[in-house]
């Protein structure tokens, strides 16, 4: 079945560590996105990529980095520069056209310990 | 900055009730809209798309008022399983080539009570 897979489901990070969140899709979607959601808050865009080897900053890119070396994969690295990384991270993908919205992965819950 | 505003609720309604949520948006160029459903600690899932004046799918009806720039979601005969947060979502096609980004409202929480 086609879908979008995020791993791990839960992740714990020590202060000063970089961690990488995985996002893989087999939907043949061109565009991929990373969002952050804090309790009681809406989704905020971190980074997005519309094509392989290209990506753009979203509204809250500081302290994060991404790569898009393959169409299927869009990993997100939360660096030590991100001062408040505890949140629910959602990866999504889409194809051009307005019918389908985004397909989301099941999310990664990151906690700083 | 393009904004999407929703009443955060919570809306607490008894089973069988009809409930409506409203959403206003600032991007007057938007042509299509989405309602997503998000269960607690889960990812958002597409509930309905709205392209013209409205859309109906079973107990759910979405309506669009372009002149006033608001979208509504009506749920009839509420079920316990309808309890969730409902996100109003507006796409932005300004990046061109059919690509778009979605702007999400913060969501309206619904609790259906037995």
Q: Could you give the 3-state DSSP secondary structure of residue A98?
A: coil
- Which of these, B60, B56, B38, lies nearest to B106 by C-alpha position? B38
pLDDT given at position A100: 65
Is B109 touching A (CB cutoff 8 A)?
A: no
Cβ of A43 under 8 Å from any chain B Cβ? yes
pLDDT of B81-108, one tens digit each? Answer: 999 999 999 887 665 555 677 889 999 9
Taking CA–CA distances from B42, the nearest residue in chain A reads A106
CB pairs A-B closer than 8 Å: 57
Report d(CA A33, CA B101) in Å as an integer: 9
pLDDT at B28: 79
As a residue count, chain B comes to 114
Nearest CA in chain B to A99: B49
pLDDT for residue A72 is more than 70: yes
> pLDDT digits over A81-111, tens only?
888 999 999 999 988 765 667 899 999 999 9
Residues B35-52 have pLDDT tens digits of 999 999 899 999 998 887
Mean pLDDT along residues A28-56: 92
User: Lowest-pLDDT range, A4-13, B28-37, B68-77?
Assistant: B28-37
Cβ contacts of A70 within 8 Å, gap of 6 or more: A52
Average pLDDT, chain B: 89
Nearest-CA distance B85 → chain A (Å): 10
Interval A64-76 mean pLDDT: 97
**pLDDT confidence bin for A56, thresholds 50/70/90:** very high
CA B50 to chain A, closest CA, distance in angstroms equals 9
Give one DSSP letter per residue of A38-87, joined into a string.
Answer: -TT--EEEEEEEEETTEEEE-TT-TTEEE--SBTTB--EEE-TT-S---E
State the Cα–Cα distance between residues A95 and A101, nearest whole angstrom: 8
DSSP sequence for A10-30: EEEE-TT--EEEEEEE-S--S
> Are the C-beta atoms of B45 and B106 separated by less than 8 Å?
no
Q: Mean pLDDT throughout A52-65?
A: 94
Per-residue confidence band for A12, with pLDDT thresholds at 50, 70 and 90: very high
d(CA B68, CA B85): 24
Q: What is the mean pLDDT of residues A51-78?
A: 96
Closest residue in chain B to residue A43, using alpha carbons only:
B104
What is the pLDDT, as a whole number, of residue B97?
54
Please give the Cα distance from A45 to A23 (Å, whole number): 15
- A109: phi then psi, degrees, rounded to nearest 5: -100, 110
The two structure tokens encoding residue B33: 């809209």
* Residue B26 falls in which region: left (phi positive, over 0), alpha (psi -120 to 50) or beta: alpha
| pLDDT at residue B58, rounded to an integer | 95
* Token pair recorded at residue A79: 């660096």
Q: How far is A86 from chain B (nearest CA, A)?
A: 14
Gap between the terminal Cα atoms of chain A:
36
Query: What is the mean predicted confidence (pLDDT) over B57-83?
Result: 94
- Cβ A43–B44 below 8 Å, yes or no? yes
């Amino acid at each position: 079945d086609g879908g979008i897979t995020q791993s791990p489901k839960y992740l714990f990070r020590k202060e000063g560590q970089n961690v990488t969140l995985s996002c893989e899709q087999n939907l043949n979607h061109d565009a991929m996105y990373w969002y952050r959601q804090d309790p009681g808050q809406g989704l905020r865009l971190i980074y997005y990529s519309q094509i392989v080897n290209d990506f753009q900053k979203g509204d809250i890119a500081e302290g994060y980095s991404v790569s898009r070396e393959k169409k299927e994969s869009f990993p997100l690295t939360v660096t030590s520069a991100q001062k408040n990384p505890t949140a629910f991270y959602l990866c999504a993908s889409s194809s051009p056209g307005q019918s389908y919205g985004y397909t989301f992965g099941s999310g990664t819950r990151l906690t700083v310990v | 900055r393009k904004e999407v505003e929703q009443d955060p609720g919570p809306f607490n309604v008894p089973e069988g009730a009809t409930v409506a949520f409203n959403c206003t948006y600032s991007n007057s160029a938007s042509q299509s809209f989405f309602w997503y459903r998000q269960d607690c600690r889960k990812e958002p899932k597409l509930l309905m798309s709205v392209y013209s004046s409205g859309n109906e799918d079973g107990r759910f009806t979405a309506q669009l008022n372009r002149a006033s720039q608001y979208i509504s979601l009506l749920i009839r005969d509420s079920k316990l399983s309808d309890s969730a947060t409902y996100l109003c979502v507006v796409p932005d096609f300004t990046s061109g080539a059919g690509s778009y980004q979605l702007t999400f409202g913060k969501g309206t929480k619904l609790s259906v009570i037995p």
